[in-house]
Amino acid sequence: MSAEGGASGPGIAERQAPASSLFQLSFPLFLHSVAMFAVVLLDTMIVSHHALATAAAVQVANQVAMVAFEVSALLGVGAVILIAHALGRGDAAAAREIAAVAVAANTLLGVAAGLLLAVAGPPLVTLLDTPDAIAGEAQTYLRVVAAAMGFNGYVVAATACLRGFGRSRTVLALGLFAAVFYLVAELVLVLGAGPIPAFGTLGSALGTLATRVAAALTLALVLLRGLGVGFDLHLFRHAGRRRIAAQLVSISLPSVADNIAYGGYQIVLLGLVTGHGVAAVLARGYVMIALAFLTLVVMAVSHGNEVLIGWLRGAGGTGTVQARALRSAAIAAIAATAVAALLHALAGPFLGLFTDDPAVHALGRELLFLTILLQPGFAVNTILFHSLKAVGDTRWPAVVSQATTWCVGLPLAVLLSSVLGCGVAGIWYALILEEALKAVFMLLRWQGRSWQRRVLFEPT
C-alpha cells in the first residue's frame, strides 16, 4: 500500500508509512527531482535569453546565496530522522510535536540567514573578483533573495516533515505546483509581458521571493489540514519543546555544517574559475546544472533510504539496516553514472539550450565527460553519509568529509587548475579524487558497525 493511501487525517499516514518500500518513497522524489531539473533548465534558458551577462550574474549570486540557503535548511535534517524514529516506535503524537517545533524553529533560522546574506553577500561578490559586467547585478540579486530566506526556512522544514511521515507523493505534487508558479513568475519578471517591463536579474530574484512566499503559505495549509501541525512561535515557552529543538540542532548541525562548509568550498572554487573569464563562469554554471540534477537523483534515493533506515532503526532492526544502505548506495551509483553518461552524449543539444559560444561548448563538453567519472564516488559517499546520519552517527562523517575537502580537495584543485595549468578541468580532477576518498572512508565506517551502539535521545 502507498505511504499515503488517500488518507487526509492525522494518524492514518503514520500507521501506513512503515509498510512503504524504497521505490514507493524514492520514485515520487525522483519525479520531483526531474521536475526541479526542468525548472533549473528552463530558468537558465530564460535568464540566458535576456542576456548572457544576466545568466552569469545569477550563477555567481546563487553560489554565494547557497550558504544562506543551507543555514535556512538546518533543522529539516533532524526533523526527518526524529519523525521517522518516532513513527518506527509507534508514537505518532511525538512525531507531530517534532514537526511543529521544526517548522517554527527553522523559520526563525531562515530569517537570521536572510539578514546575514543581506549584509555579507554583496561584499563577498566583490571579494571573488567578479567581472565588473556582472558584479552589480549579482549584488542586487542577493539583496532581494535575502528576503526569501525566512520563507525558505519554513518550506524546507515542512517538506522534510512530510518526507518523515512518508508523504512523498504530496512532496511531488507541491513541488510541481511551485515549479509552474516559479517559471511563470520568471518568464514575466525577467523577460517582461504586456505592461510589465523586463527586469532581468532583478526579475529573477523577485520570482524566487514570490515562489518561496507562495510555497510557504501552501505548505502551512497542508501541514495543518493533513497532519494537524500548525505554526506557533509560543511553543518554545515549554521546556519539553525546547528540548526537542535542542535535539534537532544536535542531530542536524554536523550534517548541515558540512553542507555549509562545502558551499564555502564551492565559493572558493568559483573564485578560481572567475579568473578564467565569463566563458569559464558560464561553462561551469551550465555543467553545474547537470551536476545539480545528478545530485537530485542521488538524493531521491538517499531520502527514501534515510526514512526506511529511520523506521527500521526505530523499530529495533540492525541487520536489515546494514544491507539496506549498501543496496541503496549501489542503486544510486549505477543510476547517477548512467544519467551522467546520457548527459554527456547529449552535450551539444544540452549546451545549445543556453548558448552557441564555441568556447563554452568545448569546455562544457569536457566537464560533462569528467562528471561521469565523478558519480560513483559521489553516490556511494552521499548514501552512506546520510545512512550514518540516520542512525545517529553524525559527527564522524561530517568531520572526515570536511577534512577530506579542505586538506585534499582544495589544495589539489589549486595545484591542478592554477599551478599546473589544467584550468577549470583541474577542479573536476580534484573533485573526482575527493569524492572517491570520501566514499572509501564512509564505507569503512559503515562496515565497522560502530553506529549499532548508538541510541538517539528520544523526545518526551
pLDDT value of position 23: 63
Residue with cell 506557533: 232
Distance CA 322, CA 104 (A): 34
Which tens digit of pLDDT belongs to each residue from 263-299?
Answer: 788 888 888 887 777 788 889 888 988 888 888 888 8
| Residue of 85, 96, 89, 105 whose CA lies nearest to 226 | 96
Distance CA 309, CA 91 (A): 17
Phi first, then psi, for residue 196 (nearest 5°) are -85, 120
| Residue of 382, 319, 389 whose CA lies nearest to 85 | 389
pLDDT value of position 445: 92
Beta carbons within 8 Å of 127's beta carbon, 6+ residues apart: none
Sketch the domain layout of the chain as residue ranges: 12-453
pLDDT value of position 426: 92
Q: How many residues belong to the chain?
A: 460
Beta carbons within 8 Å of 197's beta carbon, 6+ residues apart: none
> Residues in the chain with pLDDT < 70?
1-26, 29, 235-236, 255, 313-319, 451-460
What is the CB neighbour count within 10 angstroms for residue 5? 13
Distance CA 58, CA 37 (A): 17
pTM: 0.66
